[in-house]
């Protein structure tokens, strides 16, 4: 099974660029890219999209996303995973944590 990441629209594009640079064969898409949810998509809909297409969500949304995840799971849904960026980690440390 290939790991696939969907980058939240609020993450700096450098995260997507650096993940693809570190591992060129890795699937790293960002919200708003072709075939992804458009920018402005509501968090619950992003979780449903990630479930449907088996993507791990990478986000810095530490306030609302956990609440949406709890609701998502309570509805019997699932998701491959969510990485929440750690503001105390450097870009390099964050990229390494994805592997």
Using one digit for the tens of pLDDT, what is the confidence trace for 3-13? 899 999 999 89
Strands 27-30 and 4-7: parallel
Is the pTM of the predicted complex or chain greater than 0.75?
yes
24-29: long-range pairs with CB below 8 Å, 24+: 27/2, 27/3, 27/55, 28/4, 29/4, 29/5, 29/55
What residue segments make up the domains of the chain, in order of their start? 4-97
Strands (E), 8-66: 27-30, 56-59
Neighbours of 87 (CB within 10 A): 8
Using one digit for the tens of pLDDT, what is the confidence trace for 34-87? 999 999 999 999 999 999 999 999 998 888 999 999 999 999 999 999 988 887
Q: Report the C-alpha gap between 19 and 81 in whole angstroms.
A: 17
């Amino acid at each position: 099974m290939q790991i696939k990441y969907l980058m939240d629209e609020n993450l700096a594009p450098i995260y997507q660029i650096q993940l693809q640079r570190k591992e060129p064969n890795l699937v790293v898409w960002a919200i708003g890219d072709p075939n992804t949810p458009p920018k402005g998509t509501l968090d619950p809909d992003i979780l449903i999209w990630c479930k449907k297409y088996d993507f791990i969500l990478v986000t810095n949304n530490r306030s609302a996303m956990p609440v949406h995840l709890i609701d998502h799971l309570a509805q019997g849904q699932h998701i491959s995973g969510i990485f929440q960026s750690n503001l105390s980690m450097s870009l390099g440390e964050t990229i390494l944590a994805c592997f």
